[in-house]
Amino acid sequence: MTEKFAVRPALSTTPAYIPGKPPAAVEGIESYKLSSNENHLPPLPGVVEAAARAAGTPSHYPDPAAVALTEQLANHLGVPAERILFSAGASEMLASLARITLEAGTEVVYPWPSFEMYPQVTALAGATQHAVALTADFRHDLDAMAAAITESTRLVLLCSPNNPTGSVIRRAEFDAFMARVPSRVLVVLDEAYWEFGTDPEAVDGLAAQRTHPNLVVVRTFSKAHGLAGLRIGFAVADPEIILELRKAVLPFSVTAMAQAAARESLSRVSEVEVRAKEIAGLRDELISGLREQGWQVPESHGNYVWLPLTAGAADFEAQALAAGVAVRNLKDGVRISVGPEAAMSRVLEVAGRFRAAVER
């Protein structure tokens, strides 16, 4: 009898990442994919052209240190270049952070529900996971998260705005939390949706690093900049942490095309910020429309809206798909990415019919 190939034991408890479903084709209407938090707006002028020029020599490796982009971003953020490291999307950076901190016998703390890669990358490292439930209003329960930290904890993951619920961590509660975290524990603040936020009290990870050297801020060009398909994210952290991360991030993982597109987009950052606020406006209009129908929708600061559901999540997803709209079914609810106005109108139609049927 042929023996089964051998894999690490940690794989038995590691969930596979399941991407958002594509929309179904429905005759006579346009379909919309609102299941992956993609930026629905067209690329900024010059971004595609910059990427195309960089693709002219595919036989050459990209700059492994992304020197030009690092210097440009350092100037924009007002931080030294040695505090910045790029990766193939924020996802690779999160996986690298798990690799440099976690192993069997160690522990990680993260909120739940939150970004679906947290359980994947931390389980793969062999760590014991403490997934701390959100509060009743879908925010981080920072008191419970602080209480979950033990002598074996090496990593804490925070997400603000939180994916999928959209809540932000506010400065005062963040500082109170960090005061309870031992300095030996690395705390990651995942700010992938930072640009869409409109809460003036939300913690700014870059500002918080001035007093919390064990804090790592992770951001991305995928969302507000609209470069998800090119895979480029980055971390800002103490230079000693960056040095260790360089050992875990794969060499040449950020392509020349991604670097060139990010540089062009960063040179137009004021336009990126305006577009992000336009998307935030559509988000708030969607929330308002859903609340008018009677839905209890939490405030969101991402480019998505969380619709709390339990047993009805699969039914809502199916009805949305039948109407040409793909949403993200996460069992306890559905996450709806912000799309064009026509897509938002379609979502409201589906939600209105669904709610009327439930209340009948």
One pLDDT digit (tens) per residue for the chain, 360 residues: 677 788 888 888 888 888 888 887 888 899 999 999 999 999 999 999 999 999 999 999 999 999 999 999 999 999 999 999 999 999 999 999 999 999 999 999 999 999 999 999 999 999 999 999 999 999 999 999 999 999 999 999 999 999 999 999 999 999 999 999 999 999 999 999 999 999 999 999 999 999 999 999 999 999 999 999 999 999 999 999 999 999 999 999 999 999 999 999 999 999 999 999 999 999 999 999 999 999 999 999 999 999 999 889 999 999 999 999 999 999 999 999 999 999 999 999 999 999 998 776
Burial (Cβ within 10 Å: 0-12, 13-18, ≥19) of residue 76: exposed
As a whole number of angstroms, the distance between CA 55 and CA 49 comes to 10
Close Cβ partners of 200 (under 8 Å, ≥ 6 residues apart): none
Domains and CATH numbers, the chain: 9-43+270-359 (3.90.1150.10), 47-267 (3.40.640.10)
Instruction: Specify whether the CB–CB gap between 168 and 162 falls below 8 A.
Output: yes
DSSP 236-298: E--HHHHHHHTTTSPTT-S-HHHHHHHHHHHHTHHHHHHHHHHHHHHHHHHHHHHHHTT--PP
pTM summary value: 0.95
Torsion of CA 113, 171, 218, 158, to 10 degrees: -30
